[in-house]
Structure 1
Amino acid sequence: MELTHEENDQVLRRREKLQALREMGIDPYREERYERTHLAADILNHYEELEGKTVRIAGRIVAMRLMGKASFMHLQDGSDKIQIYLRADDLGEQRYGLLKLLDLGDFLGVQGEVFRTKTGETTVHVREFTILSKALRPIPFGKEKGEQHWYGLQDVELRYRRRYLDLLVNRESRQILLNRCRVVQATRRFLDKEGFLEVETPVLQPLAGGAAARPFITHHNALDVDFHLRISLELYLKRLIVGNIEKVYEIGRVFRNEGMDRRHNPEYTLLELYQAYANLEDIMHLVERLFYHVCLEVRGEPYIEYNGQKVDMTPPWKRGRLLDLIEYYAGVQPEEFATLESAKAAMERKGLPTENEHTVGGIIEKLLERFVQPNLIEPTFVTDYPIETSPLAKKHPQDPRFTRRFEGYVACQEVANAFSELNDPDDQRERFEAQMRMRAAGDEEAHPYDEDFVTALEYGMPPTGGLGIGMDRMAMVILGADSIQDVIFFPQMRPKG
């Protein structure tokens, strides 16, 4: 990060202070640990119990007022910040003089008694202190007045590139990212309580299957073979269903070699689960209860905020057939999807380009994305997806052009994708062959032919319900974040220069 002239001057002054400390025999980087008795939040929340008692705390200096014989600072740890009070009479003139060699951002460990100032602020009266680390660069701390905050780090791109600074100085950003962790933790607790077993499956795969996406490719030197970074967790988890592990899930990183925008990051966290002897409706009920549980645990209420309105996550969610919703929101009749030509004509009538569309199913999903999705604010399950875009789902028994699949939408975002899983090996082989024809016709995201997975199905897989949820997207919706980058600690960024 480029420093301004003023910041360069600050770095020089901080290095001069570091040198002065070392010349006095004090190395700010020597300490390996500091034993704390309390966190800042413990003291603030339990003042009555701790008043007058000795505590040991440590944290980063985020505010300081140095005066002649007495000084105040605020130390911030991972829980909160608390004021400390230091006097020359308590520390001795020489020790007190070291305070002039400290800067905002330095780490300090202190021991002293808990009291309240005349203004009522809980404070630690310091009897001894230890310098634990020194910050050589100035930190862009903002200013506070009551409940108002003026943040020193406003540039969005810089916040993403220097997330450690964002966490230090932007309270809202920090809270969203910490709550994202709580979303994942609450999801795990829910699934564990439901009897699902968490497993791990390969990240490096000979074939990138389970989704329609372009993979990243890497080379295994010892084997002299190219591998793909996984784009999905699906096919290995379903192999475990074949192996008689009846309720299984994984929360893991997947990688898709695609564009970046407000809703997409090429590396993200995916939840997939599979339950033997369960169908699509069972998975719907599971999704409803999962989102309700996580929302309650993280937000403390069954509502999220979207564009100033409350969205209720309480089950049951709305349900709607895909073609019915397209007819309602786009005015395209179901019979217009009878042939590729008529579907293209309908798409052109709605003002969308068709030159890259080679299947009716692809056109249906484009119309969903353009006309239906922006209206799905309340939690809604959209069902009956076309077979061309759902190669791993069972056919719909009443209409084999469609499948037993749903997507869940909340606040205009897709938050879940689920199937009654295809377990007919012959049907699966035919679907893979159809996907290979699509690939030969130019569809780079068509599903590869996974012969080993077909072999696994030939050993028999029970009726199974499956689900995929992007955890970043789930966190984004539940926490009301504007961008997926806001719920990822280190989002992918374009290299500078």
Structure 2
Amino acid sequence: MSDPIRTKAHVLHSLRALLHDEDFTELVTPVARRADLGPGRRASAGLHEGRFLRAMIGPALRVNVSTTRPKVYEIGPCFRPEPPDALHAAEFTMLDLYAAGLGFEDLIDLAWRLVGPHLPSYAPEQLSIADHVRDAFGIDLRTEPIGDLHPRMAARIGADPGEPFRDVLGRYIALELEAGTTGRAVFLTDYPTGGDEPCARLAPGTTAVLERFELIVDGIELVHGYTDETDQKAFIDRAKAVSLYDDEQQLALDAVEAGAVPADTAGLGIGIERLCAASAGRREITPFLQSPQF
């Protein structure tokens, strides 16, 4: 393998160059945040008035979208309190972006144009989770509610039926869909409602399908993206139902309500070290974490 730090530098330069050409504005938002998102979601920092290290960039980035900055992005550090492993680190790098008026298919196209040049041996595919659910369980989420999908999905993977649907859905997708992406680059789309991205927009004309995607490359998530729900009540209700409504999301919604931020936005995030690992044919991010001795 070539020098991993040079590989990372090349990836970052490529991402910035494309976004510059697409008229995105690069921003820097606070790493240390006021909001405590609850147990296990953020690492605390011993700073003035108490702060928590961000686990994701998105909310503070979204409030910077405006008529003069309709497309923004940031590349910066994020932190997780859980123990590290081959694909997770206590400190890692994310690219997050937000854009006003960007449609869902255009968002998928942008995602591949960003990461595709670093994955030359892969051709992108799309797999609809809603179609899979229809074929596997006979429930058409485009026209029907979730119904009894929760206990049936739990039974399929041997999960406790009392486990929250959000967790059952995540495990089911990992076992039944992500595991089948060996040697492939697959955009998983049409996620059911009730998962861990409640801010995603309900797909027009559907009952329980979200405009959300994840790009899975050789079994590993590299990119996630979604269009934002423009119905604030629907967003709040869905987020509260899965215990993912927090102060930072409220700040973003307040900005939308005040007319400072457009409601029709879309965002995506890319794990930089994971992209570097995939481009080098590796299944661990450790070589791409700089200066670990500190």
The CA distance in 2 between the partners of 1:481 and 1:386, in whole Å, is 31
| Residue aligned with 1:220, SS | coil
Structure 2 letter corresponding to 1:378 = R
Q: Could you tell me which residue of structure 2 aligns to residue 488 of structure 1?
A: 289
Per the alignment, in what secondary structure is the counterpart of residue 191 of structure 2? coil
Counterpart in the other structure of 1:362: 167
Q: Partner residue of 1:196?
A: 24
Q: Which residue identity lines up with residue 407 of structure 1 in the other structure? A: E
Q: Corresponding residue for 2:12?
A: 184
* Residue 470 of structure 1: aligned partner: 271
Give the counterpart letter for 2:225 in structure 1: A
| Structure 2 length-normalised TM | 0.86
* Equivalent residue in structure 1 for 2:189, among 373, 383, 395: 383
2:251 corresponds to 1:459: no
The CA deviation at 1:470 is 0.6
Distance apart, 1:218 and its partner CA? 2.1
Between structure 1 and structure 2, the one with the greater Rg is 1
Q: 1:414 to 1:212 in 2, by over 3 A?
A: farther
Could you say what secondary structure the match of 1:188 adopts?
A: helix
Q: Does the residue aligned with 2:84 lie in a helix, a strand or coil?
A: coil
Q: Is the 8 A contact 1:176 1:487 kept in 2?
A: yes
Q: Do 1:343 and 1:363's aligned partners in 2 also have CA atoms closer than 8 Å? A: yes
Q: Specify the SS of the correspondent of 2:277.
A: helix
Are positions 1:288 and 2:94 aligned together? Answer: no
Q: How big is the shift at 1:391?
A: 1.8
Structure 2 partner of 1:175: 3
Q: Which has the higher strand share?
A: 1
Aligned residues: 286
Counterpart in the other structure of 1:256: 80
Match of residue 448 from structure 1: 246
- State the TM-score, normalizing by the size of structure 1: 0.53
Q: Which residue of 1 aligns with 2:237?
A: 430
Per-residue deviation, 1:208:
5.4
Residues 125-274 of structure 1: pairs in structure 2 closer than 5 A? 172=1, 175-207=3-35, 214-221=41-48, 225-242=49-66, 244-274=68-98
Aligned-partner Cα distance in 1 for 2:152–2:132:
19
Give the secondary structure class of the aligned counterpart of 1:283.
helix
Deviation string, structure 1 residues 11-67 (Cα, Å, up to 9, x no partner): xxxxxxxxxxxxxxxxxxxxxxxxxxxxxxxxxxxxxxxxxxxxxxxxxxxxxxxxx
Structure 2 alignment gaps of length 5 or more: none
Instruction: Provide Cα deviations, 1:331-380, integer angstroms capped at 9, x if missing partner.
Output: 5554799446x52343234334455x222x43222111112111123222
Distance 1:375 1:401, change over 3 A: same
Alpha-carbon distance in structure 1 between the residues aligned to 2:251 and 2:283: 41
Cα pair distance change 1:381/1:455, threshold 3 Å: same
- Distance in 2 between residues matched to 1:238 and 1:269, nearest whole Å: 18
Paired residue secondary structure (1:320): strand
Q: Which residue of 2 aligns with 1:84?
A: none
Which deviations, in whole Å up to 9, do the C-alpha atoms of 1:376-425 show, x marking residues without a partner? Answer: 23222111223332221111223342311111111221111111122333
SS in 1 for 2:78: strand
Cα distance in 1, alignment partners of residues 39 and 222 from structure 2: 17
Cα distance 1:202–1:343, how it changes in 2: closer, same or farther (>3 A)? same
Change (3 A) 1:455 1:334: same
Displacement after TM superposition at 1:239 (Å) = 0.6
Q: Using the alignment, how far apart are the partners of 1:383 and 1:492 within structure 2?
A: 39
1:398 aligns with one of 183, 205, 221: 205
Report SS of the residue matched to 1:468.
strand
d(CA) in 2 for partners of 1:491, 1:405: 34
Q: What value does the CA root-mean-square deviation take over the aligned residues? A: 2.8
> What is the aligned partner in structure 2 of residue 419 from structure 1?
226
Residues 130-153 of structure 1: per-residue CA shift (max 9 Å, x gap) = xxxxxxxxxxxxxxxxxxxxxxxx
Alpha-carbon contact 1:217-1:228 (below 8 Å) kept: yes
Q: Which amino acid aligns with 2:266?
A: G
Q: Quick one: distance in 2 between partners of 1:244 and 1:234? A: 19
Query: What do the CA deviations read for 1:262-283 (whole angstroms, capped 9, x no partner)?
Result: 2111211000111111111111
Unmatched runs of 5 consecutive residues or more in structure 1: 1-171, 296-301, 304-311, 439-445
Distance 2:15 2:257 in 1: 33
User: 1:279–1:463: 8 Å Cα contact kept in structure 2?
Assistant: no
